[in-house]
Structure 1
Amino acid sequence: MTKEKEIQILQSLKGDTYFAQMFGDDIDRMCENISVDFPIESGCKFNTKAEVLQKELKEQKEQAKQEALDFAFGIILDFREGNGVRDKVYQTIESRIGIDEMIKFKHSQKIELSDTEINYLVGKLR
């Protein structure tokens, strides 16, 4: 395909097209890059957007990993302390997932609810 034909096709994708929805701001830049034999993506905004999203994803993964570690370390510390281990473990888990999810899970597993959880449910009835 010639440069001119490729540029013509890219120009035809401007306007109300799916291609333009994604690359609209970059179509003219792509055409210019083709005409001067540069890589088509040079200077395009979609690369910057992708880099920003990749950075955000990496940060979110790191944060999720740290939260999981903090949660696990909290459980380990609860076990280390000894007395009332079960209650401390439940408190640590509840602080992470919330009392509603704790109650749903315990109910699904036929685990007896604590007085605090029962009082919470009764309080919801008022």
Structure 2
Amino acid sequence: MGWLGIQLAYNSDASVWAGSQSSTKGAKGGEGDPERGRAVFNGKGACSYCHGVDGYRDQPPQLEADTVALIAQLNPPPADLRNRKTLRLTTDKARFNAIREGHPGTGMFPDTTMTAQELTDTLAYLEVLRKEGSAKRK
């Protein structure tokens, strides 16, 4: 099952996030909304499949068993988006490109389904995850 299969195997029910209302400039210069980015991250973007719900790798969404098995085989494993020290991509431009075009040497395939605004919103949400770190839980 490829990336598309992984995306189709999960039926997202993104909830409303009561987090920061701040916005950030994305790689393309537009304003990003972290609240909308959270919905994309946990929904349409399917980021949570590998990176965990709200970026908590130990909290995967409910997925089919074969999808979970495929994700467990990824080498290197998906990045811990809440741990700044382990992240290799250090700019929003690099993150934008990795999401849009895929990240060579990893299991991250290109996502061409997100609009530029959805991607910019997701980048704003990723900034929130990096600031929160792994200590904050629901």
**In which range does the TM-score fall when normalised by the shorter chain?**
under 0.3
Q: Larger Rg: 1 or 2?
A: 1
TM norm structure 2: 0.23
Structure of greater relative contact order (alpha carbons < 8 Å, 6+ residues apart): 2
| Structure richer in helix, relative to its length | 1
TM norm structure 1: 0.24
